[in-house]
Chain A
Amino acid sequence: MSTQYLNWTVCHDNSNLAWLRLDVAGSRTNILSEKVLGELHQILDQLADKPPSGLVVISGKGRGFIAGADINEFTEIPSSQQALEKIRFGQGIMDQLDHLPCPTVAAINGFCIGGGLELALACDYRVALDDPGTRFSFPEVKLGIHPGYGGTVRVLRHVNPLIAMDLMLTGRSINTRRANNIGLIDHIVPERQMENAARQLLMSLPSKHRVSRFARLLNSRPARTVIAARMRKQIARKAQPEHYPAPYAMVWHWDKHYGTEEQMLQHEASSVAKLSVTDTSRNLIRTFMLSKKLKSLANNESTPARHVHVIGAGVMGGDIAAWCVHKGLTVTLQDIRPESLAQARMRAWKYFKKHLGNRLSIRSAMDRYIPDIQGNGLGKADVIIEAVFENREAKQQLFASIEPRIKSDALLATNTSSIEIEKLCDSLTDPQRLIGIHFFNPVTKMPLIEIVNGVHTDPEIRQRAINFARQIDKLPLPVKSAPGFLVNRILTPYIVEAGLLREAGTSVTAIDQAATRFGMPMGPLELADTVGLDIGLHVAECLDQAYGFGVPESFRSMVQEGKLGRKSGQGFYTWKQGKKPSNARRSSNGDDETIQDRLVLRILNESIACLREKIVADKDFLDAGIIFGTGFAPFRGGPMQYIDSRGAMTLLETLGTLQKQFGGRFKPDLGWEELYPEFRSAGD
């Protein structure tokens, strides 16, 4: 007997077990939208009236349990009161499931995220599919909130609070083994035993997993006070309360409101309701939406690549290769120097060892990471990515020499960071086929790829490059081919300004800490050290020619002295074994505002210039590019969002003051007037 709803199906089998299957209509993944929850409410009501002997919640999607709440709905919430209602509604349904008069089990066949995990936690038992794709996380903190459907409460039933809080504070995702070890799930089973396991649990009803006595002690009043203080300290190292209130609220919630589940649930709801209407949360949700916008650029029309050939086994080339292998592709890595190939392979091995864990997966990955001195992979690859050093002639020669060797339908790409595609493609017989696929360093961490479109580039090639970026799970940002493209062009004046500040006597830590206090992931001088001053100088010089950004004299002299940053051990900081000393004094934040204005306004002014020149299609793409390409304070929603929130007029005034003080480099770009017509009158 089965009852069909739009998104759910309820089947009663011979042993009077109800199988509740979620298959959200018109969506590739299961999402807990209001409609889906509404139906669930109805179903649970009926089940409560006439309880089966057990209930199994399963997913109708081949892979993947539930991806969480519908974030679109959160963008539309006008007030915290409405947010509260929405959250209480969701909480109520989870309570219903929790209090169902029959035992329940969640059969988790893939990712189990946010609201999905909260739903699973409202069940009595959880069995998970033994598969690398089965991962668990509470990502709410990344959207400026914390779990709100009872997750903060129920997770503590099963998981030691230190671990549970870590999960919710970082939003990190964990695999089945870890989930099993910490008590989040009860069993890991292969697909063939999924149904059996659920059935047997409901038949035998073993005692439910509970946290250990020690963990209960950690939840006691005195322990909470001590632990919460430590947690706040740890969070403060990464995020400030005024920028990221959610983790602090999360700690507060546990510290001050741990008690009966009923009270805790009430506070959970009001806490999330408050967080969900903060600017931070709105900007973070917008950032999430921007990533979806970039993802949606891909269509599924091109055949997925199987074999990528990367030329140049430097850090970039080697890491691009490792990333592609990690995403399931076979990669041939070409370099004339076996030393470079060996080093690249070692870095790849370390990366796989950390991220793949099991011996056989690591071996399989290494088997697909093939050093190729002769470049025999050229003729077999579906995608060819050139990542040799930044030299126009060298790249041109390379393209001319490889063009006859590659498959006619292979995607030919350059990873150049600053040379325009038009200047590279003229050595090809078919200049239309060259496209820029620009990765950022470190490749394995940075989510963005600039898809650089030359004037000749065939639109179909562009689409294939975008699809390739999605295939390897990166965010594609189409940009126009102009020196520095988008990200480097906007970062350079910011770093240059930092250099000028330093030359004028501001301390390195004052500059960098002003930037991190603004919300940048890393200060500009530390960034310069990390990238390598020689590389930074090269880019700055290229872009200086094109846009007149200026090059701080100190950059040149430092490079001459061999102070290249992290790789040489000495730059703006002294690096020891790739780490800068952590005892750097916290500088006072007295000068923050002036430093921040100088640094950030150069970013903003250049952003306006990029929009005016149509380097990217619109404001959204610009914000997305800068957030995902540079880590620009995501809680500020990107440069354009920041202009809107601070007010373009205010910024223009500051820009005017700075121009008087420091001259032309702060001259407002013409684009301000185009974008904000109110300037025209103000400027006169």
Chain B
Amino acid sequence: MTKPTVYIIDGCRSPFLKSQGRPGPFRASDLAVSAAQPLLLRQPFGPEDLDEVIVGAVAPGADEANIARIIALRLGCGHRVPAWSVQRNCASGMQAIDSAFTDLLLGRSNLVLAGGTEAMSHSPVLYNRHMVDWLADMNRSKSAWQIIYTLAKLRPGFFVPVIGLLKGLADPVIGLSMGQTAENLVHRFGITRAEMDNYAVTSHQRLMHAQKSKYLEEIETIYDSKGNFYSQDDGARPDSSLDKLARLKPVFDKKFGSVTAGNSAQITDGAAWVILASEAAVKKHNLSPIGRIIASDWAALDPAQMGLGPVHATAAMLFKLNMSIADIDYWELNEAFAAQVLACMAACKDDKYCQTELGLDKAFGEIPHERLNVDGGAISIGHPVGASGARIVHHLLKVLRRNHAKLGVATLCIGGGQGGAMLVESLQ
């Protein structure tokens, strides 16, 4: 039995807006709705014709439980389009597409809106445990005497907030922050600070070149209610240089480390979408697919080495298809950290790593830098954790089309020690 073809017919994303240290103008569902509206508007079908909506989001707002359903209803899909949310940390957006892919393969759906969204600037600031306990005591205090007694127990330390974002970016099992796992890779592969900073500068330059060349036409302008509009990623630093980056202090392993804010992905708000369609839906609505998904795969590894996830996932996927790195025209490997991307590139061409960790008999191959993240990546564009997976899948198709190439792999590392990869083919 041949597998049915799963098409990607269109996609888009919001501009990725760098966190300014306070909640940004859009919440996660706002970003997703604003970006999807123009996407749906240009389709020959209406929002109510979708079979389901799947959204990846790592930390939606407290009142955004099952954010996908909220988004679907706000988009005018009506009461009858089911919607569900997925969470696989940094790969949530790719998981959404993968879940849609699966449902299409199974024949359960014909037309699916899938993507991811994240408003990292809105991540909550919480009371710490002491404060919560104290508030509970206060609530239970009835008599004036009790109230005075409880009040007297209040300590300044109770007011120290828990920063949700930092909790989210730390591994809850081994206790390392994501940046510290990147420091592990620096150590393991002997990556220098200069190499990382160099990589970061290239990311910014590539993004700026792409912006100038209008390669990012998948960005939809979005509007807040204060009279502002946003039509471009705002993370690119035109003045980024090795000199400037070298001056930044390491933030994760303070003092002695080498992973800095400048060579890590930015904290950003954004949403990205693709529409997946079956053969039948393509015929029914007379759609013109931009690509198809050939395969996807997931792999897991030591959480302390999570940055190498892409190597494991990609190897697993390509092996099953009897393909090698050389068969792939273009790559999107999410830039969580410059160190982590460089480590992945190093691991792939390292015989020993491939033998011991992947069980291969020799090195997997070399991913050429000029075919990898050609229009910049999360270091310059930003990494709204729920959205990035969808962004790189869709953008990869754009890159393939622009270069008249055929096959591409989009892959990400996932906090907690996993990797995800997706193989797509451009159809022109």
A contact residues vs B (CB 8 Å cutoff): 330, 332, 338-339, 341-343, 345-346, 349, 363-364, 366-368, 370-374, 376-377, 380
Check A370 against B227 for contact (C-beta < 8 Å).
no
Bound-complex Cα distance A346 to B231 (A): 17
Check B223 against A345 for contact (C-beta < 8 Å).
yes
Residues of A within 8 A of B74 (CB): 363-364, 367
Contact of B41 among A339, A366, A376 (CB under 8 A): A376
List, sorted by A's number, 15 A–B pairs whose CB atoms are closer than 8 Å.
Answer: A338-B223, A342-B228, A343-B227, A345-B223, A346-B226, A349-B225, A349-B226, A364-B74, A367-B33, A367-B74, A371-B223, A373-B38, A373-B221, A376-B38, A376-B41
Check B38 against A346 for contact (C-beta < 8 Å).
no
Residues of A within 8 A of B76 (CB): 330, 367-368
Whether B283 is near chain A, meaning CB under 8 Å from some CB there, is: no
Residues of B within 8 A of A377 (CB): 41
Residues of A within 8 A of B221 (CB): 338, 371, 373
> What 8 additional pairs, Cβ within 8 angstroms, besides A345-B224, A376-B42?
A338-B229, A341-B223, A341-B229, A342-B229, A345-B223, A346-B225, A366-B225, A373-B221
Bound-complex Cα distance A366 to B76 (A): 12
Residues of B within 8 A of A343 (CB): 227
Which residue from chain B places its CB closest to the CB of A340 in the assembled complex? B229
Whether B37 is near chain A, meaning CB under 8 Å from some CB there, is: yes
Residues of A within 8 A of B226 (CB): 346, 349
Bound-complex Cα distance A586 to B90 (A): 69
Known interface pairs A372-B38, A372-B41; A346-B227 also in contact (CB < 8 Å): yes
Whether B46 is near chain A, meaning CB under 8 Å from some CB there, is: yes
Residues of B within 8 A of A366 (CB): 225
Which residue from chain A places its CB closest to the CB of B44 in the assembled complex? A379
Bound-complex Cα distance A371 to B76 (A): 15
Check A345 against B37 for contact (C-beta < 8 Å).
no
Check B227 against A374 for contact (C-beta < 8 Å).
no
Contact of B42 among A368, A371, A374 (CB under 8 A): A374
Kindly state the interface size class of chain B when it binds its partner: 10 to 19
The minimal Cβ–Cβ distance linking B363 to chain A, given in whole angstroms, is: 47
Closest 9 CB pairs of A and B: A349-B225, A346-B227, A376-B41, A342-B229, A376-B42, A338-B229, A367-B74, A345-B223, A370-B37
Bound-complex Cα distance A372 to B42 (A): 10
Check B231 against A345 for contact (C-beta < 8 Å).
no
The winner among B42, B227, B228 for most chain A CB atoms within 10 A is B227
Residues of A within 8 A of B42 (CB): 374, 376
The minimal Cβ–Cβ distance linking A315 to chain B, given in whole angstroms, is: 14
Task: Report B195-235 CB contacts with A as 1/0, cut-off 8 Å.
Answer: 00000000000000000000000000101111111010000
Residues of A within 8 A of B37 (CB): 370
Bound-complex Cα distance A159 to B29 (A): 43
The minimal Cβ–Cβ distance linking B84 to chain A, given in whole angstroms, is: 20
Contact of A339 among B38, B75, B224, B229 (CB under 8 A): B229
Instruction: Provide the main secondary structure of the chain A interface.
Output: helix
Which residue from chain B places its CB closest to the CB of A343 in the assembled complex? B227
Check B41 against A342 for contact (C-beta < 8 Å).
no
Residues of A within 8 A of B38 (CB): 370, 372-374, 376
Residues of A within 8 A of B75 (CB): 367
The minimal Cβ–Cβ distance linking A337 to chain B, given in whole angstroms, is: 10
Known interface pairs A338-B231, A339-B229, A367-B74; A332-B223 also in contact (CB < 8 Å): no
B1-49, CB < 8 A from A: 33, 37-38, 41-42, 46
Check B225 against A380 for contact (C-beta < 8 Å).
no
Which residue from chain A places its CB closest to the CB of B228 in the assembled complex? A342
The minimal Cβ–Cβ distance linking A274 to chain B, given in whole angstroms, is: 50
Which residue from chain A places its CB closest to the CB of B29 in the assembled complex? A363
Residues of B within 8 A of A372 (CB): 38, 41
Which residue from chain A places its CB closest to the CB of B43 in the assembled complex? A376
Bound-complex Cα distance A342 to B42 (A): 20
Which residue from chain B places its CB closest to the CB of A339 in the assembled complex? B229
Bound-complex Cα distance A346 to B225 (A): 5
Residues of B within 8 A of A338 (CB): 221, 223, 229, 231
Check B33 against A342 for contact (C-beta < 8 Å).
no
Bound-complex Cα distance A363 to B224 (A): 11
The minimal Cβ–Cβ distance linking B122 to chain A, given in whole angstroms, is: 15
Residues of B within 8 A of A376 (CB): 38, 41-42
The minimal Cβ–Cβ distance linking A1 to chain B, given in whole angstroms, is: 41
The minimal Cβ–Cβ distance linking A493 to chain B, given in whole angstroms, is: 38
Known interface pairs A370-B37, A370-B41, A372-B38; A342-B231 also in contact (CB < 8 Å): no
Bound-complex Cα distance A364 to B46 (A): 18
Check B227 against A342 for contact (C-beta < 8 Å).
yes
Check B228 against A380 for contact (C-beta < 8 Å).
no
Residues of A within 8 A of B224 (CB): 342, 345
Residues of A within 8 A of B41 (CB): 332, 370, 372, 376-377, 380
B224-255, CB < 8 A from A: 224-229, 231
The minimal Cβ–Cβ distance linking B176 to chain A, given in whole angstroms, is: 39
Bound-complex Cα distance A339 to B225 (A): 12
Task: Report B90-118 CB contacts with A as 1/0, cut-off 8 Å.
Answer: 00000000000000000000000000000
Residues of B within 8 A of A345 (CB): 223-225, 227
Bound-complex Cα distance A267 to B20 (A): 66
Bound-complex Cα distance A364 to B74 (A): 7
The winner among B224, B225, B227 for most chain A CB atoms within 10 A is B225
Residues of B within 8 A of A380 (CB): 41, 46
Which residue from chain B places its CB closest to the CB of A378 in the assembled complex? B41
The minimal Cβ–Cβ distance linking B223 to chain A, given in whole angstroms, is: 5
Bound-complex Cα distance A37 to B227 (A): 53
Which residue from chain A places its CB closest to the CB of B37 in the assembled complex? A370
Check B46 against A342 for contact (C-beta < 8 Å).
no
The minimal Cβ–Cβ distance linking A335 to chain B, given in whole angstroms, is: 11
Bound-complex Cα distance A338 to B231 (A): 9
Bound-complex Cα distance A322 to B42 (A): 22
The winner among A343, A370, A372, A374 for most chain B CB atoms within 10 A is A370
Which residue from chain B places its CB closest to the CB of A337 in the assembled complex? B229
The minimal Cβ–Cβ distance linking B37 to chain A, given in whole angstroms, is: 5
B45-88, CB < 8 A from A: 46, 74-76
Residues of B within 8 A of A368 (CB): 76
The minimal Cβ–Cβ distance linking B169 to chain A, given in whole angstroms, is: 29
The minimal Cβ–Cβ distance linking B17 to chain A, given in whole angstroms, is: 15
Residues of B within 8 A of A373 (CB): 38, 221
The minimal Cβ–Cβ distance linking A325 to chain B, given in whole angstroms, is: 12
The minimal Cβ–Cβ distance linking B65 to chain A, given in whole angstroms, is: 15
Bound-complex Cα distance A349 to B224 (A): 9
Bound-complex Cα distance A363 to B64 (A): 14
Which residue from chain B places its CB closest to the CB of A362 in the assembled complex? B225
Which residue from chain B places its CB closest to the CB of A338 in the assembled complex? B229
Which residue from chain B places its CB closest to the CB of A363 in the assembled complex? B74
Bound-complex Cα distance A364 to B70 (A): 11
Task: Report B165-200 CB contacts with A as 1/0, cut-off 8 Å.
Answer: 000000000000000000000000000000000000
Bound-complex Cα distance A330 to B227 (A): 20
Residues of B within 8 A of A330 (CB): 76
Residues of B within 8 A of A332 (CB): 41
